[in-house]
A and B are shown apart, each in its own frame.
Chain A
Amino acid sequence: MACFTLFFAPFLKPLPYLDPGSGSMLIQLILAAVLSIGIAVRIFWNKIKAFLTRNKSSASQDADPTELPEERGVEDSPHS
Protein backbone atom coordinates (compact mmCIF):
# COMPACT_ATOMS: atom_id res chain seq x y z
CA MET A 1 0.00 0.00 0.00
CA ALA A 2 2.83 2.37 0.94
CA CYS A 3 4.51 1.51 -2.36
CA PHE A 4 1.33 2.20 -4.20
CA THR A 5 0.90 5.60 -2.57
CA LEU A 6 4.53 6.48 -3.18
CA PHE A 7 4.40 5.50 -6.82
CA PHE A 8 1.23 7.43 -7.56
CA ALA A 9 2.01 10.38 -5.30
CA PRO A 10 2.78 12.79 -8.13
CA PHE A 11 -0.57 11.96 -9.75
CA LEU A 12 -2.57 12.08 -6.52
CA LYS A 13 -1.32 15.55 -5.61
CA PRO A 14 -4.37 17.80 -5.64
CA LEU A 15 -4.37 20.39 -8.37
CA PRO A 16 -4.20 23.98 -7.16
CA TYR A 17 -7.57 25.56 -6.82
CA LEU A 18 -8.19 27.42 -10.02
CA ASP A 19 -9.45 30.92 -9.77
CA PRO A 20 -9.58 31.89 -13.41
CA GLY A 21 -11.30 35.14 -12.47
CA SER A 22 -8.10 36.83 -11.32
CA GLY A 23 -6.10 35.95 -14.40
CA SER A 24 -8.99 36.98 -16.67
CA MET A 25 -9.26 40.34 -14.96
CA LEU A 26 -5.53 41.02 -14.96
CA ILE A 27 -4.94 40.21 -18.61
CA GLN A 28 -7.55 42.78 -19.45
CA LEU A 29 -5.38 45.46 -17.85
CA ILE A 30 -2.58 44.63 -20.25
CA LEU A 31 -4.87 44.25 -23.26
CA ALA A 32 -6.65 47.48 -22.37
CA ALA A 33 -3.38 49.36 -22.54
CA VAL A 34 -2.42 47.79 -25.86
CA LEU A 35 -5.87 48.12 -27.39
CA SER A 36 -6.27 51.77 -26.39
CA ILE A 37 -3.38 52.50 -28.72
CA GLY A 38 -4.75 50.04 -31.25
CA ILE A 39 -8.16 51.63 -31.33
CA ALA A 40 -6.72 55.09 -31.97
CA VAL A 41 -4.75 53.69 -34.90
CA ARG A 42 -7.84 51.85 -36.11
CA ILE A 43 -10.06 54.93 -36.07
CA PHE A 44 -7.43 56.75 -38.10
CA TRP A 45 -7.07 53.80 -40.50
CA ASN A 46 -10.86 53.48 -40.89
CA LYS A 47 -11.05 57.12 -41.84
CA ILE A 48 -8.48 56.59 -44.58
CA LYS A 49 -10.28 53.44 -45.70
CA ALA A 50 -13.67 55.19 -45.65
CA PHE A 51 -12.18 57.97 -47.76
CA LEU A 52 -10.74 55.53 -50.29
CA THR A 53 -13.85 53.35 -50.52
CA ARG A 54 -16.39 56.12 -50.17
CA ASN A 55 -18.81 54.77 -52.71
CA LYS A 56 -18.65 51.13 -51.75
CA SER A 57 -21.18 49.80 -49.28
CA SER A 58 -19.81 48.07 -46.21
CA ALA A 59 -19.90 44.29 -46.02
CA SER A 60 -23.16 42.97 -44.63
CA GLN A 61 -21.36 40.64 -42.20
CA ASP A 62 -20.24 43.72 -40.29
CA ALA A 63 -23.86 44.58 -39.52
CA ASP A 64 -24.55 45.40 -35.89
CA PRO A 65 -27.58 43.39 -34.69
CA THR A 66 -28.43 46.11 -32.15
CA GLU A 67 -28.82 48.69 -34.90
CA LEU A 68 -32.34 49.88 -35.61
CA PRO A 69 -33.69 49.29 -39.10
CA GLU A 70 -33.73 53.02 -39.82
CA GLU A 71 -30.02 53.31 -38.92
CA ARG A 72 -28.82 50.60 -41.26
CA GLY A 73 -26.69 51.92 -44.02
CA VAL A 74 -25.62 54.95 -41.98
CA GLU A 75 -21.83 55.16 -42.09
CA ASP A 76 -20.87 56.81 -38.80
CA SER A 77 -21.47 55.14 -35.50
CA PRO A 78 -22.84 57.28 -32.68
CA HIS A 79 -19.79 56.50 -30.54
CA SER A 80 -17.97 59.50 -29.15
Chain B
Amino acid sequence: MVEKSGASFRDPSGFIFIRDAVVYRQVNLAGRESYDALMQSGLYERLTKAKALVSHQEVPLTFAPTAELAYKVIRPEPIPFISYPYEWCFDQLKDAAILTLSIARRALEYGLSLKDASAYNVQFLAGKPIFIDTLSFEPYQEGLPWVAYRQFCQHFLAPLALMAHKDIRLSQLLRVYIDGIPLDLASRLLPARSRLNFGLLSHIHLHARSQQKYAGKQVSRNALEGKVSLPALRGLLENLLTTVRGLHLRSANTEWGNYYEENNYTEAAFAAKRNLVKDYLLAVNPRSVWDLGANTGEFSRAASEMGILTAAFDIDHSAVQQNYRMVKQNSEKSLLPLWIDLTNPSPALGWDSRERASLRERGPVDLIMALALIHHLAIANNVPLERAAASFADMARHLIIEFVPKTDSQVQRLLATRADIFPDYNRDGFEQAFTRHFIIHKAEPIPGSQRILYLMERRAD
Protein backbone atom coordinates (compact mmCIF):
# COMPACT_ATOMS: atom_id res chain seq x y z
CA MET B 1 0.00 0.00 0.00
CA VAL B 2 1.24 3.49 -0.92
CA GLU B 3 0.22 6.59 1.00
CA LYS B 4 1.43 10.15 0.41
CA SER B 5 2.49 11.94 3.60
CA GLY B 6 0.00 14.61 4.65
CA ALA B 7 2.91 16.86 5.63
CA SER B 8 4.70 16.86 2.32
CA PHE B 9 2.97 18.88 -0.37
CA ARG B 10 4.40 22.40 -0.41
CA ASP B 11 7.60 21.80 -2.34
CA PRO B 12 7.12 20.90 -6.03
CA SER B 13 10.55 19.27 -6.13
CA GLY B 14 9.31 16.12 -4.40
CA PHE B 15 7.28 14.50 -1.65
CA ILE B 16 7.33 11.85 1.03
CA PHE B 17 5.33 8.68 0.75
CA ILE B 18 4.95 5.53 2.82
CA ARG B 19 4.93 2.15 1.21
CA ASP B 20 4.53 -0.98 3.30
CA ALA B 21 5.45 0.97 6.44
CA VAL B 22 8.71 2.23 4.90
CA VAL B 23 9.25 5.96 4.27
CA TYR B 24 10.41 7.03 0.80
CA ARG B 25 10.87 10.34 -0.94
CA GLN B 26 10.10 10.90 -4.59
CA VAL B 27 12.35 13.49 -6.25
CA ASN B 28 10.39 15.09 -9.07
CA LEU B 29 11.89 16.16 -12.39
CA ALA B 30 11.32 19.70 -11.07
CA GLY B 31 13.82 18.95 -8.29
CA ARG B 32 16.39 17.31 -10.52
CA GLU B 33 18.83 20.23 -10.66
CA SER B 34 18.77 20.75 -6.90
CA TYR B 35 19.09 17.07 -6.06
CA ASP B 36 21.99 16.57 -8.47
CA ALA B 37 23.70 19.69 -7.14
CA LEU B 38 23.45 18.35 -3.58
CA MET B 39 24.72 14.90 -4.51
CA GLN B 40 27.50 15.99 -6.86
CA SER B 41 28.84 18.99 -4.93
CA GLY B 42 30.13 16.85 -2.08
CA LEU B 43 27.76 18.54 0.40
CA TYR B 44 25.63 15.43 0.81
CA GLU B 45 28.66 13.33 1.65
CA ARG B 46 29.95 15.93 4.05
CA LEU B 47 26.68 16.45 5.91
CA THR B 48 25.78 12.78 6.17
CA LYS B 49 29.27 11.93 7.38
CA ALA B 50 28.89 14.54 10.11
CA LYS B 51 25.41 13.09 10.84
CA ALA B 52 23.89 16.51 10.19
CA LEU B 53 21.67 15.29 7.33
CA VAL B 54 19.84 11.97 7.01
CA SER B 55 21.51 9.59 4.61
CA HIS B 56 19.50 7.82 1.95
CA GLN B 57 19.67 5.13 -0.67
CA GLU B 58 18.36 5.46 -4.18
CA VAL B 59 15.82 2.76 -5.05
CA PRO B 60 14.39 1.81 -8.47
CA LEU B 61 12.07 4.32 -10.13
CA THR B 62 9.37 1.67 -10.19
CA PHE B 63 8.71 2.65 -6.56
CA ALA B 64 7.51 6.11 -7.65
CA PRO B 65 3.81 6.76 -6.96
CA THR B 66 3.67 9.37 -9.76
CA ALA B 67 6.12 7.93 -12.27
CA GLU B 68 5.51 10.59 -14.93
CA LEU B 69 6.87 13.29 -12.58
CA ALA B 70 9.63 11.25 -11.00
CA TYR B 71 13.34 11.74 -11.39
CA LYS B 72 14.49 9.54 -8.50
CA VAL B 73 13.09 7.69 -5.53
CA ILE B 74 15.14 7.61 -2.35
CA ARG B 75 14.77 5.73 0.91
CA PRO B 76 15.98 7.89 3.80
CA GLU B 77 17.40 6.48 7.01
CA PRO B 78 14.36 5.86 9.26
CA ILE B 79 13.54 8.23 12.14
CA PRO B 80 11.99 6.08 14.88
CA PHE B 81 9.94 8.84 16.52
CA ILE B 82 8.82 12.06 14.83
CA SER B 83 8.71 14.98 17.27
CA TYR B 84 7.76 18.62 16.77
CA PRO B 85 9.26 21.94 17.91
CA TYR B 86 6.39 22.62 20.33
CA GLU B 87 7.39 19.38 22.10
CA TRP B 88 11.05 20.32 22.45
CA CYS B 89 12.71 21.96 25.42
CA PHE B 90 14.65 25.18 24.96
CA ASP B 91 17.99 23.44 24.39
CA GLN B 92 16.51 21.10 21.79
CA LEU B 93 15.07 24.01 19.82
CA LYS B 94 18.33 25.90 20.19
CA ASP B 95 20.40 22.93 18.97
CA ALA B 96 18.03 22.49 16.02
CA ALA B 97 18.46 26.21 15.19
CA ILE B 98 22.26 25.94 15.38
CA LEU B 99 22.17 22.87 13.14
CA THR B 100 20.01 24.66 10.55
CA LEU B 101 22.29 27.72 10.45
CA SER B 102 25.44 25.60 10.37
CA ILE B 103 24.06 23.66 7.41
CA ALA B 104 23.11 26.91 5.64
CA ARG B 105 26.65 28.22 6.20
CA ARG B 106 28.29 24.97 5.13
CA ALA B 107 26.11 24.72 2.00
CA LEU B 108 27.53 28.03 0.75
CA GLU B 109 31.03 26.50 0.74
CA TYR B 110 29.72 23.96 -1.75
CA GLY B 111 27.90 26.47 -3.94
CA LEU B 112 24.47 25.67 -2.53
CA SER B 113 21.88 27.58 -0.58
CA LEU B 114 19.48 26.26 2.05
CA LYS B 115 16.10 27.27 0.70
CA ASP B 116 14.00 25.95 3.57
CA ALA B 117 14.68 26.64 7.25
CA SER B 118 11.56 25.09 8.75
CA ALA B 119 11.92 23.71 12.27
CA TYR B 120 9.92 20.70 11.07
CA ASN B 121 12.89 19.76 8.87
CA VAL B 122 14.81 18.83 11.99
CA GLN B 123 14.29 15.61 13.93
CA PHE B 124 16.13 13.91 16.77
CA LEU B 125 18.02 10.75 15.94
CA ALA B 126 20.36 8.92 18.31
CA GLY B 127 20.25 11.79 20.80
CA LYS B 128 21.11 14.54 18.33
CA PRO B 129 19.27 16.85 15.96
CA ILE B 130 19.46 15.90 12.30
CA PHE B 131 18.19 17.64 9.15
CA ILE B 132 15.72 15.45 7.29
CA ASP B 133 14.78 17.32 4.13
CA THR B 134 17.11 16.23 1.33
CA LEU B 135 15.32 18.57 -1.10
CA SER B 136 15.90 21.79 0.87
CA PHE B 137 18.97 22.78 -1.13
CA GLU B 138 19.33 24.70 -4.38
CA PRO B 139 22.26 26.10 -6.35
CA TYR B 140 23.40 29.38 -4.77
CA GLN B 141 23.02 32.48 -6.88
CA GLU B 142 25.54 35.09 -5.87
CA GLY B 143 24.07 38.39 -4.83
CA LEU B 144 20.64 37.23 -3.72
CA PRO B 145 19.42 37.49 -0.09
CA TRP B 146 18.71 34.33 1.94
CA VAL B 147 15.29 33.11 0.85
CA ALA B 148 14.68 31.20 4.11
CA TYR B 149 15.53 34.16 6.37
CA ARG B 150 11.93 34.96 7.33
CA GLN B 151 11.19 31.31 7.98
CA PHE B 152 14.24 30.88 10.18
CA CYS B 153 13.29 33.91 12.26
CA GLN B 154 9.68 32.73 12.68
CA HIS B 155 10.44 29.06 13.34
CA PHE B 156 13.50 29.41 15.55
CA LEU B 157 14.61 32.87 16.59
CA ALA B 158 11.20 34.20 17.67
CA PRO B 159 10.28 31.21 19.91
CA LEU B 160 13.79 31.00 21.37
CA ALA B 161 13.84 34.73 22.13
CA LEU B 162 10.38 34.57 23.71
CA MET B 163 11.37 31.56 25.81
CA ALA B 164 14.57 33.20 26.99
CA HIS B 165 13.36 36.77 27.49
CA LYS B 166 9.68 36.45 28.34
CA ASP B 167 8.24 33.07 29.31
CA ILE B 168 9.17 29.49 28.54
CA ARG B 169 5.54 28.61 27.75
CA LEU B 170 5.43 30.95 24.76
CA SER B 171 7.02 28.26 22.60
CA GLN B 172 3.53 26.78 22.59
CA LEU B 173 2.58 29.51 20.12
CA LEU B 174 4.20 27.20 17.57
CA ARG B 175 1.16 24.98 17.99
CA VAL B 176 -1.07 27.85 16.88
CA TYR B 177 1.13 29.20 14.09
CA ILE B 178 2.18 26.32 11.88
CA ASP B 179 4.65 28.48 9.93
CA GLY B 180 6.34 29.90 12.98
CA ILE B 181 5.53 32.81 15.29
CA PRO B 182 4.63 35.98 13.34
CA LEU B 183 7.40 38.49 13.93
CA ASP B 184 5.10 41.41 14.68
CA LEU B 185 3.58 39.34 17.49
CA ALA B 186 7.02 38.29 18.78
CA SER B 187 8.16 41.89 18.66
CA ARG B 188 5.15 43.03 20.67
CA LEU B 189 5.53 40.29 23.28
CA LEU B 190 9.27 40.68 23.83
CA PRO B 191 10.34 43.05 26.61
CA ALA B 192 11.78 46.44 25.64
CA ARG B 193 15.24 45.42 26.83
CA SER B 194 15.43 42.83 24.03
CA ARG B 195 15.98 45.83 21.72
CA LEU B 196 19.36 46.31 23.32
CA ASN B 197 20.47 43.01 21.80
CA PHE B 198 21.69 43.78 18.27
CA GLY B 199 20.56 40.41 16.86
CA LEU B 200 17.06 40.58 18.32
CA LEU B 201 16.74 44.25 17.38
CA SER B 202 17.64 43.47 13.77
CA HIS B 203 16.15 40.05 13.11
CA ILE B 204 12.94 40.44 15.07
CA HIS B 205 12.03 44.06 15.84
CA LEU B 206 13.33 45.81 12.71
CA HIS B 207 12.49 42.75 10.61
CA ALA B 208 8.86 42.96 11.78
CA ARG B 209 8.83 46.71 11.09
CA SER B 210 10.20 46.10 7.59
CA GLN B 211 7.55 43.45 6.94
CA GLN B 212 4.83 45.88 7.90
CA LYS B 213 6.31 48.72 5.86
CA TYR B 214 6.59 46.68 2.69
CA ALA B 215 3.43 44.61 3.18
CA GLY B 216 1.72 44.11 -0.13
CA LYS B 217 4.52 45.73 -2.11
CA GLN B 218 6.17 43.61 -4.75
CA VAL B 219 9.92 43.55 -4.94
CA SER B 220 11.30 42.51 -8.29
CA ARG B 221 14.08 40.01 -8.44
CA ASN B 222 16.16 42.60 -10.31
CA ALA B 223 15.96 44.91 -7.32
CA LEU B 224 17.50 42.21 -5.14
CA GLU B 225 20.11 40.79 -7.47
CA GLY B 226 23.67 41.63 -6.64
CA LYS B 227 22.63 43.34 -3.42
CA VAL B 228 23.77 40.75 -0.87
CA SER B 229 27.33 39.61 -1.53
CA LEU B 230 28.55 36.20 -0.40
CA PRO B 231 30.59 37.66 2.51
CA ALA B 232 27.55 39.70 3.55
CA LEU B 233 25.34 36.60 3.44
CA ARG B 234 27.88 34.76 5.56
CA GLY B 235 27.87 37.73 7.90
CA LEU B 236 24.11 37.44 8.22
CA LEU B 237 24.29 33.72 9.02
CA GLU B 238 27.14 34.31 11.49
CA ASN B 239 25.15 37.01 13.20
CA LEU B 240 22.10 34.77 13.46
CA LEU B 241 24.32 32.06 14.95
CA THR B 242 25.78 34.49 17.48
CA THR B 243 22.29 35.70 18.37
CA VAL B 244 20.95 32.16 18.86
CA ARG B 245 23.99 31.10 20.88
CA GLY B 246 23.61 34.16 23.06
CA LEU B 247 20.10 33.15 24.15
CA HIS B 248 19.97 31.41 27.53
CA LEU B 249 17.22 30.48 29.92
CA ARG B 250 17.15 32.22 33.23
CA SER B 251 17.22 29.43 35.76
CA ALA B 252 14.02 28.89 37.73
CA ASN B 253 12.99 26.29 40.21
CA THR B 254 9.93 24.29 39.29
CA GLU B 255 7.59 21.93 41.05
CA TRP B 256 9.41 18.82 39.83
CA GLY B 257 12.98 20.06 39.70
CA ASN B 258 13.96 18.24 42.87
CA TYR B 259 11.24 15.62 42.93
CA TYR B 260 13.66 12.79 43.50
CA GLU B 261 15.04 14.48 46.59
CA GLU B 262 11.60 15.20 48.05
CA ASN B 263 9.60 12.06 47.39
CA ASN B 264 8.68 9.04 49.43
CA TYR B 265 11.61 6.91 48.47
CA THR B 266 14.63 6.01 50.44
CA GLU B 267 17.70 5.24 48.39
CA ALA B 268 17.09 1.52 48.81
CA ALA B 269 13.44 1.75 47.74
CA PHE B 270 14.48 3.76 44.71
CA ALA B 271 17.01 1.09 43.69
CA ALA B 272 14.43 -1.64 44.33
CA LYS B 273 11.91 0.13 42.10
CA ARG B 274 14.51 0.47 39.35
CA ASN B 275 15.34 -3.24 39.54
CA LEU B 276 11.68 -4.17 39.43
CA VAL B 277 11.15 -1.99 36.36
CA LYS B 278 14.14 -3.68 34.74
CA ASP B 279 12.77 -7.15 35.51
CA TYR B 280 9.43 -6.27 33.94
CA LEU B 281 11.16 -4.82 30.87
CA LEU B 282 13.22 -7.98 30.49
CA ALA B 283 10.07 -10.08 30.73
CA VAL B 284 8.42 -8.18 27.86
CA ASN B 285 11.51 -7.26 25.82
CA PRO B 286 9.86 -4.33 23.99
CA ARG B 287 11.40 -2.56 20.99
CA SER B 288 9.86 0.81 21.83
CA VAL B 289 8.83 2.45 25.10
CA TRP B 290 7.04 5.67 26.03
CA ASP B 291 7.68 6.80 29.58
CA LEU B 292 4.71 8.96 30.57
CA GLY B 293 5.58 11.46 33.27
CA ALA B 294 9.27 10.63 33.03
CA ASN B 295 10.61 13.56 35.07
CA THR B 296 14.36 13.68 34.33
CA GLY B 297 14.36 10.18 32.88
CA GLU B 298 15.67 8.16 35.82
CA PHE B 299 13.44 5.20 34.96
CA SER B 300 13.37 5.85 31.22
CA ARG B 301 17.05 4.99 31.36
CA ALA B 302 16.23 1.55 32.74
CA ALA B 303 14.77 0.97 29.26
CA SER B 304 17.06 3.06 27.05
CA GLU B 305 20.18 1.56 28.62
CA MET B 306 18.96 -1.81 27.35
CA GLY B 307 19.01 -0.30 23.83
CA ILE B 308 15.21 0.09 23.75
CA LEU B 309 14.12 3.22 21.87
CA THR B 310 12.52 5.28 24.61
CA ALA B 311 10.59 8.54 24.45
CA ALA B 312 10.42 10.27 27.84
CA PHE B 313 7.53 12.72 28.21
CA ASP B 314 7.09 15.22 30.98
CA ILE B 315 4.95 18.27 31.62
CA ASP B 316 7.73 20.10 33.42
CA HIS B 317 10.06 21.99 31.12
CA SER B 318 13.04 22.03 33.43
CA ALA B 319 12.85 18.25 33.93
CA VAL B 320 12.88 17.76 30.14
CA GLN B 321 15.70 20.24 29.75
CA GLN B 322 17.75 18.47 32.44
CA ASN B 323 17.00 15.10 30.83
CA TYR B 324 18.11 16.37 27.38
CA ARG B 325 21.32 17.78 28.83
CA MET B 326 22.12 14.35 30.30
CA VAL B 327 21.40 12.71 26.93
CA LYS B 328 23.88 15.10 25.32
CA GLN B 329 26.49 14.84 28.01
CA ASN B 330 26.51 11.04 28.00
CA SER B 331 25.93 10.70 24.22
CA GLU B 332 22.88 8.55 24.90
CA LYS B 333 21.51 7.14 21.68
CA SER B 334 18.18 5.57 22.64
CA LEU B 335 16.48 8.26 24.72
CA LEU B 336 14.38 11.17 23.47
CA PRO B 337 13.07 13.57 26.15
CA LEU B 338 10.00 15.56 25.11
CA TRP B 339 7.95 18.30 26.74
CA ILE B 340 4.39 16.99 26.63
CA ASP B 341 1.34 17.58 28.80
CA LEU B 342 -0.47 14.24 28.90
CA THR B 343 -3.71 15.88 29.95
CA ASN B 344 -3.61 17.88 26.70
CA PRO B 345 -1.27 16.03 24.30
CA SER B 346 -0.24 17.41 20.91
CA PRO B 347 -3.19 17.37 18.50
CA ALA B 348 -3.17 16.79 14.74
CA LEU B 349 -2.37 20.13 13.10
CA GLY B 350 -2.02 21.93 9.81
CA TRP B 351 -3.73 21.61 6.47
CA ASP B 352 -6.46 18.99 6.54
CA SER B 353 -5.24 18.17 10.08
CA ARG B 354 -2.63 15.97 8.45
CA GLU B 355 0.57 18.00 8.46
CA ARG B 356 1.56 17.26 12.06
CA ALA B 357 0.43 14.03 13.64
CA SER B 358 -1.19 13.93 17.05
CA LEU B 359 0.72 12.14 19.79
CA ARG B 360 -1.73 9.24 19.60
CA GLU B 361 -1.19 8.86 15.84
CA ARG B 362 2.53 8.43 16.46
CA GLY B 363 1.85 5.31 18.50
CA PRO B 364 1.19 2.65 19.42
CA VAL B 365 4.38 1.49 21.09
CA ASP B 366 5.25 -1.87 22.55
CA LEU B 367 5.19 -0.73 26.16
CA ILE B 368 4.33 2.32 28.19
CA MET B 369 5.54 3.14 31.66
CA ALA B 370 3.34 5.19 33.97
CA LEU B 371 5.37 5.49 37.15
CA ALA B 372 4.16 7.77 39.94
CA LEU B 373 1.66 9.17 37.47
CA ILE B 374 -1.77 7.73 38.15
CA HIS B 375 -2.49 9.95 41.18
CA HIS B 376 -1.76 13.04 39.08
CA LEU B 377 -4.21 11.92 36.42
CA ALA B 378 -6.89 10.58 38.75
CA ILE B 379 -6.75 13.04 41.63
CA ALA B 380 -5.16 16.22 40.31
CA ASN B 381 -6.89 15.98 36.94
CA ASN B 382 -10.10 14.04 37.78
CA VAL B 383 -9.56 11.42 35.05
CA PRO B 384 -11.62 8.34 36.02
CA LEU B 385 -9.34 5.30 36.47
CA GLU B 386 -11.21 3.35 33.84
CA ARG B 387 -10.64 6.08 31.26
CA ALA B 388 -6.95 6.23 32.10
CA ALA B 389 -6.79 2.47 31.55
CA ALA B 390 -8.62 2.76 28.20
CA SER B 391 -6.23 5.46 27.06
CA PHE B 392 -3.14 3.43 28.01
CA ALA B 393 -4.59 0.37 26.25
CA ASP B 394 -4.85 2.44 23.06
CA MET B 395 -1.21 3.46 23.29
CA ALA B 396 0.54 0.17 23.95
CA ARG B 397 0.19 -3.54 24.38
CA HIS B 398 2.14 -3.67 27.62
CA LEU B 399 1.95 -1.41 30.61
CA ILE B 400 4.19 -0.95 33.61
CA ILE B 401 2.20 1.11 36.08
CA GLU B 402 2.75 2.16 39.66
CA PHE B 403 -0.22 2.46 41.98
CA VAL B 404 0.23 5.18 44.58
CA PRO B 405 -2.28 4.77 47.46
CA LYS B 406 -4.06 7.58 49.27
CA THR B 407 -1.89 7.09 52.32
CA ASP B 408 1.19 8.11 50.33
CA SER B 409 2.39 11.61 51.20
CA GLN B 410 2.41 12.68 47.54
CA VAL B 411 -1.30 11.86 47.27
CA GLN B 412 -1.97 13.49 50.64
CA ARG B 413 -0.37 16.63 49.25
CA LEU B 414 -2.71 16.59 46.24
CA LEU B 415 -5.71 16.04 48.52
CA ALA B 416 -4.68 18.70 51.01
CA THR B 417 -6.27 21.53 49.05
CA ARG B 418 -9.40 19.80 47.78
CA ALA B 419 -12.30 17.59 48.78
CA ASP B 420 -11.72 13.85 48.51
CA ILE B 421 -14.27 12.94 45.84
CA PHE B 422 -12.45 9.75 44.90
CA PRO B 423 -14.00 6.88 46.89
CA ASP B 424 -12.80 4.30 44.32
CA TYR B 425 -9.21 5.44 44.43
CA ASN B 426 -7.80 2.42 46.23
CA ARG B 427 -6.08 -0.80 45.23
CA ASP B 428 -9.32 -2.68 44.55
CA GLY B 429 -10.83 0.14 42.54
CA PHE B 430 -7.63 0.51 40.58
CA GLU B 431 -7.41 -3.19 39.73
CA GLN B 432 -11.07 -3.36 38.85
CA ALA B 433 -10.77 -0.43 36.43
CA PHE B 434 -7.59 -1.68 34.80
CA THR B 435 -8.63 -5.33 34.43
CA ARG B 436 -11.40 -4.17 32.09
CA HIS B 437 -8.66 -3.42 29.55
CA PHE B 438 -5.62 -5.32 30.78
CA ILE B 439 -4.57 -8.67 32.22
CA ILE B 440 -2.42 -8.21 35.31
CA HIS B 441 0.71 -10.35 34.99
CA LYS B 442 2.60 -9.08 38.00
CA ALA B 443 1.87 -6.93 41.03
CA GLU B 444 4.84 -6.43 43.32
CA PRO B 445 5.00 -4.12 46.31
CA ILE B 446 7.91 -1.72 46.07
CA PRO B 447 10.02 -2.42 49.15
CA GLY B 448 10.27 0.49 51.55
CA SER B 449 7.10 2.18 50.23
CA GLN B 450 3.34 1.66 50.15
CA ARG B 451 3.27 1.59 46.38
CA ILE B 452 2.67 -1.35 44.03
CA LEU B 453 4.27 -1.91 40.64
CA TYR B 454 2.17 -3.73 38.04
CA LEU B 455 3.02 -5.36 34.75
CA MET B 456 -0.06 -5.62 32.55
CA GLU B 457 -0.91 -6.76 29.05
CA ARG B 458 -3.78 -5.47 26.95
CA ARG B 459 -6.70 -7.85 26.57
CA ALA B 460 -6.84 -9.49 23.17
CA ASP B 461 -10.42 -8.55 22.18
Contacts and interface: CB of A to CB of B under 8 A. Distances in A.
B324 to A, nearest CB: 14
Give the interface size class of chain A. Answer: 20 to 34
A36 B106 contact: no
A9 B50 CA distance: 58
Interface string A42-80: 100000000000000000011011111100000000110
A61 B329 CA distance: 12
A-side binding surface: helix, strand, loop or mixed? helix
A27 B210 contact: yes
A78 B105 CA distance: 12
B146 A22 contact: no
A68 B50 CA distance: 5
Interface string A16-52: 1111111111111101111110110010000000000
Contacts of A17: 215-216
A16 B211 CA distance: 12
Given A20-B215, A28-B146, A61 B245 contact: yes
Nearest to A37: B235
Contacts of B227: 29, 32
A24 B207 contact: yes
B219 A26 contact: yes
Interface residues of B, number: 48
With a 10 A CB-CB cut-off, give which of A18, A27, A39, A78 has the most chain B CB atoms: A27
Contacts of B233: 32
A80 to B, nearest CB: 9
B239 A38 contact: yes
Given A27-B210, A66-B102, A22 B236 contact: no
Interface in B221-257: 224, 227-229, 231-236, 238-239, 245
A19 B234 CA distance: 25
B420 interface: no
Interface of A: 16-29, 31-36, 38-39, 42, 61-62, 64-69, 78-79
